[in-house]
Structures are given as C-alpha cells and as structure tokens.
Amino acid sequence: MSCWNYRVLAFMQKNDTIFFELHTVYYEEPDGKPDGYGSPVVGLTGTTKKSLRWELNAMKKALEKPILWGDEGKFPKEYKKLKKKKA
C-alpha cells in the first residue's frame, strides 16, 4: 500500500529562476521515502464542504514541510535556498 501527501516542489527554469508548485507526492512503504509525484494541483475539489476543508488543510500542511526539488535528477532531495553567484 502506498501513501501520499501534498508537498511544495521547487523547479529551476533555464534562466536559473526558481519557481514553486504544489504537487501530490507518493511515498514508498515501508521506508516512507518519496518515490514520485503527480501533476501540479490546479483546483480544489470534493463531494462535500467537509471534504473540501480536509483537502485545503492537507494542502496548507505542505507549506510547513521542507520543500523538495521537482527537477529530474534532483527529486526527492530537499531544496535549500541557492546562493547567488558573484559576478
């Protein structure tokens, strides 16, 4: 059985600009390491107001967790703010 949660992922554009997206991240069991992620979250859906509240709270929890790199070859390493290169 796999598990998932929402996480913020960092991506680097070609001009070295970092942008962030909210994604569903899937985890291996039993070790709990991230092993994949889905498309960016673009909407909030549910069958009841209670289920919408649950989804929204789950998404808000992602902002409390460390950000992960989403770029190929970097996922699931933790994103740490990059130091700007000196000219």
- Judged by DSSP in three states, 37 sits in strand
Average confidence score pLDDT of the chain = 90
Contacts of 49 (CB under 8 A, 6+ apart): none
For residues 33 and 39, what is the distance between their CA atoms, to the nearest angstrom? 19
Q: Is residue 25 part of a domain?
A: yes
Looking at the domain assignment, is residue 85 inside a domain? no
The reply to whether 44 falls in a domain is: yes
Give CA–CA dist 42/54, Å, rounded. Answer: 16
Q: What is the pLDDT of residue 44?
A: 87
Look at residue 87 and tell me whether its pLDDT is greater than 60.
Answer: no
Q: What is the pLDDT of residue 86?
A: 58
In a domain, 79, yes or no: no
- Residue 61 is part of which domain span? 3-69
